[in-house]
Structure 1
Amino acid sequence: MVDISTRSKADNEESPLERQRRLMELLSQETRHSVIQTLVGHPEILASADEINHFIPSKSNKTVEEQLDVLVEADILTIYEYPPNKETRGFPWKFYGFTEYGTDILGEFNYLKGVPMTRSVHQKTRKPEKIERHEMAPRPSLPEPIRTAFRLDEEAE
């Protein structure tokens, strides 16, 4: 597994080229890249573990969860909780989404330019009832800088 140190320590101790190389390695690993693409394309930018697993069928749930943990540890993703969903059967209450730091990194590496295409792919993908229910579940609000970064031009108007 790739060595992912905390961003504050790594950002302070490494050259810009080393930082870029470390982040490219982090973002380009196959499963992590698929997780990122799934979240970039999600209409709410927050997805349950079941939703993410649905969009990465070639990997085991355990493998996806391990890579989600790596992305959380690297401060690219965080877990957003929505406790009211705990009372509603069939709704997830924990969602994965980008941190402000993670969103900045996506912008730096041009991932945000792909938002329209990945959203289109997401919308056109067939989903079983459980995944559609998860997709429609209420979610917590994202911080404004994250919502703004993922806003499509037609949404801003």
Structure 2
Amino acid sequence: MADISAHSKADNEENPLERQRELMELLSQETRHSIIQALVGHPKLLASAAEINHFVPSKSKKTVEEQLDVLVDADILEIYEYPPNKKKRGLPWKFYGFTEYGTDILGDFNYLKGVPMARAVHQKTRTPEKIERHETAPRPPLPEPVRATFRLEDDT
């Protein structure tokens, strides 16, 4: 498993090729790559764990959650909370989304070129009622630099 801690980030600022290799390893691991693709394709760029699990069906829930933690620890993703949903049964209140640093990395590794295709796949994927409910649930706003990177409209 890739260890991209704050310590290794600082160490590798002196060695950009090593940093690039570590990031490539982080992004290319199968489950993490699938998670990133699921989020890139999400219309709101913020997805609950249930939504991500639905779009990464070949892996167990535990495996997906472990890899979400790795991406959060690496500062590629952040957990965005929406406390008002805590009181509403059946609605998620924790969402995973990209950080500003994460969007920079996606740009550096050309993931952003795949956004239209990932969104088209997402739109064509059948979803059960629970996932539809999660997709339409209110969620917190993303930071403006992230919104700008993905050219999100103001209706999120």
Query: Considering the TM-score relative to the shorter chain, is it more than 0.5?
Result: yes
Deviations 1:40-97 (A, max 9, x none): 0000000000000001111000000000000000000010000000111111000000
Deviations 1:3-61 (A, max 9, x none): 2222xx33332211001000000000000000000000000000000000001111000
**Aligned partners of 1:3 and 1:48: how far apart in 2?**
24
Structure 1 outlier segments of 4+, above 4 Å = none
State the one-letter code of the partner of 1:35. I
State the one-letter code of the partner of 1:113. K
Map of 1:114 onto structure 2: 114
Alignment of 1:24-43 (within 5 A): 24-43=24-43
Count of matched residue pairs: 152
RMSD: 1.3
Aligned-residue sequence identity (percent) comes to: 79
TM-score (norm. length: structure 1) = 0.93
Is 1:10 aligned to 2:8, yes or no? yes
Deviations 1:106-155 (A, max 9, x none): 01111111111100100110000000000000000001100010117xx6
**Aligned partners of 2:147 and 2:8: how far apart in 1?**
27
Is 1:90 aligned to 2:90, yes or no? yes
TM-score (norm. length: structure 2) = 0.94
Q: What SS is found at the alignment partner of 1:90?
A: coil
Show structure 1 runs of 5+ residues with no match.
none
Q: What SS is found at the alignment partner of 2:80?
A: strand
Show structure 2 runs of 5+ residues with no match.
none
